[in-house]
Chains A and B, each alone.
Chain A
């Protein structure tokens, strides 16, 4: 399967582990990611708040490039970063809804010799592509080193499941795509209640007290559930939980040491790829002690909590989910 690939600025630097692991797993999963040539900033969170029209023009330049570089027909553009995914989808959607906006944006694009017809490019998040296009069955077949006994907290963050647009691929309030994916890899997935709560976003720069409290809640909850690692799909979430974990500990007198990893890194491990190809070692909170817990056999003694008393009432049967 061939996709245009829009890495976004984070994956160039601070989230290079995400980029590296994405590239590493793409090959064995048969995802052909062709990086968009000459791509530019997605506008991140700030620019849309500053001035809408230039922001949309900026974002749409990437869509126009994707359309240009792929020739006629409909194409898919994959973004691993939640903010990039949201901005690209949003610009496309708003231009589809408002021909006036599309016209103005196209006047701006024309200055660079480009044009874009809304709806031509379908923006996808990397998680969506891996879970729904590659499929869990195909992944399961390729798992050589299952992540037995690694307790993972799947953390989606606020943006990826909430565009509310046509390409929404999971439940807005309680997504489960990554839960199912990680279970396929053999990991023990905790039912992480704060999976779609806020990581603090750019509050770390504006109002650190607020951000630290939001980060603390996530770390506390994951730690209450005895998660070995928190798994993310967004560079912002990863940065906040990882880089500010130390600040949280100092501020609240806690001692959390929960490594924050990208889901692509765990896919890579389960597929048997060497850790060096997956960007390990770039995280602030050392992942090695947690990863050492991965066992060669699933621990069967860990079912004590599941055994039910004879008097206990049956739990509701869930549809679809195992």
Chain B
């Protein structure tokens, strides 16, 4: 090893590192360490000047290895590998010491941070001298894409990719695509009819030759890696033969079974046992719900079978399992709404005339349960006064600390719609702050102000029907501290609308697990970088779009979906992808054929050769996790770039200042 010449570069990262770590001291110290030929500190190593410095040193000093002590390798490993390569050094003869996220950002103790930085640098140096040149692995990219979720995000991404000429599988859990946007009446601030702008795109999806629409289907399993995923989809039994059904709706008309529609109509309306969530549903085929179907429950009826002109009803249909191979996946799984029952003092579920925002959205929709009439729970009386309570479940440390970002605007929209339909009705908005920070949002707020909506600033304490004063009898009383006048107020109204916040899908954790990626504390999928890579995830080839990443309104959702689609298209158009060659390899001479690794591999990347009684890693499927390497009792498996020698040397380097020699595991 004595001929190895290592260059060490310590980055200030402005003050991010230099504030806490004495970078000059680390560089001066590093220069005196074994194998180190040159060591420098520099304000921004990632700048082009910083990179040129590395390239120049490689040429002038004949460096054979490079260590950069800076930020996380997630940020700039590729940057410096590129610099090495430009100067003629194999990109794997490089090692990064993360002295920012793992050091300077975690403490204010300058002395120990500097000491730790030295240890990390020494570990990186000891490791890098054992690095071996490796070549990137070309992987062909399957041009098909899977999109999970058929809301506006999934629809947009599917159309963008399909229009570029690539095939898309769009998987949707519900019987129809459309998502929450299909439930909404008008969109803010333009007051476009939501269905009118959405349904043309739904139709496009349904008819597009490049889109395979798998509605009423759920994702069960995901294997593989970027460029080559295998997914298993369960197509739930519709009990309707899609090949025969014309979508005429005769079965729905004649069905005597009725059930509360708790999904699309959020419990405010009913549907038949055979149903389409809404008239413009895509695909047009209905679904039979066995829970409410009289035939499934009592063994008699089959009215639908009798009336179906094309004999498309099939009570014996079973769930179907499909195996799809795709190169990329976009998750557009959307959001759930906060459950207003969790705040019992607001009376939802107890007090009849307390509604959630989605209930109101359905009520005000001409296709909804009241044909667009704004009425109390009795179904007939229009309210003379309505209180709209903002931030229900949002901006509240008991529930969600974050702002749901859409509630202010939809609440203003409700106020406008009430004024429009019931001009004599008083509308009160109870808000904490009005957040109207989008294009033409503030203008809309002013419009609603001018229409005469009352705005009361303060978080509502409770909604009660306990009358205390004359004028309160028979009303819902909203008790609130008006923080602008510093007084408690009681506002009697006929109807209360709870503007519930947005929360992550109830099963987002499980979905994240399926894809080997992470959720934040609130259950939203974690993007690769919140500013610069909002639609990428830490799993290559898995993208996120829309409200599964965090609360957002339609315009941002559509923008994200487009961004995710263009990322996918650019990957597909490359044809092949260069993958890091960090893979496991089994030394056949050392393999005892015990097969412990076979079942351990989470990616099913190890096969066993019966004839020779040895195991072998399928390089294309291996993800380089290292599970087999550590489990092999014969030490027959090596992880490229993570050899025992490399890891052990790094540990010894980190422990350079420990006085006593710690007996480490014997080197293989």
Contact = CB atoms under 8 A, between A and B. Distances in A.
Interface in B253-289: 260, 262, 267-270
B596 interface: no
B655 to A, nearest CB: 36
Given A316-B267, A317-B267, A173 B352 contact: no
B538 to A, nearest CB: 35
Contact of A174 (B345, B352, B375, B466): B345
Contact of B348 (A171, A217, A314, A316): A316
B341 A313 contact: no
A223 to B, nearest CB: 11
Given A224-B466, A315-B349, A173 B344 contact: yes
Contacts of A224: 466-467
B378 interface: yes
A313 B468 contact: no
A249 B370 CA distance: 46
B369 interface: yes
A315 B260 contact: no
A220 interface: yes
A166 interface: no
Given A174-B344, A220-B468, A224-B467, A317 B370 contact: no
A259 B341 CA distance: 32
Contacts, number: 62
Contact of B370 (A174, A194, A220, A313): A313
Nearest to B342: A171
B341 A319 contact: yes
Interface in B293-350: 341, 343-345, 348-350
A191 interface: yes
Contacts of A193: 464-466
A141 to B, nearest CB: 29
Contact of B379 (A191, A194, A217, A313): A313
B590 interface: no
Nearest to B477: A193
B462 interface: yes
Nearest to A175: B344
Contacts of A174: 344-345
Contacts of B270: 314
Contacts of A315: 349, 352, 377
Contact of B369 (A313, A317, A319): A313
A49 to B, nearest CB: 24
A162 to B, nearest CB: 13
Interface string B481-510: 000000000000000000000000000000
Contact of A314 (B267, B345, B375, B380): B267
A287 B260 CA distance: 44
Contacts of B462: 173
B121 to A, nearest CB: 41
Contacts of B344: 171, 173-174, 176
Interface string B359-400: 100010000011000010111100000000000000000000
Given A173-B344, A174-B344, A311-B380, A317 B465 contact: no
Given A309-B378, A314-B267, A317-B262, A217 B468 contact: yes
A314 B467 contact: no
Interface in A190-218: 191, 193-194, 217
B13 to A, nearest CB: 39
B421 to A, nearest CB: 17
Interface string B469-489: 000000000000000000000
Query: Which 8 A-B residue pairs are closest in the complex by CB-CB distance?
Result: A174-B344, A311-B379, A193-B466, A173-B345, A193-B464, A221-B466, A316-B349, A318-B349
Given A314-B268, A316-B267, A318-B341, 12 more contacts: A173-B343, A174-B345, A217-B468, A221-B468, A224-B466, A313-B363, A313-B379, A314-B269, A315-B352, A316-B341, A316-B356, A318-B349
25 contacts: A173-B345, A173-B462, A174-B344, A174-B345, A176-B344, A191-B350, A193-B466, A217-B468, A220-B467, A224-B466, A224-B467, A309-B379, A312-B377, A312-B378, A313-B269, A313-B369, A313-B375, A313-B377, A315-B349, A316-B348, A316-B359, A317-B260, A317-B349, A318-B349, A319-B341
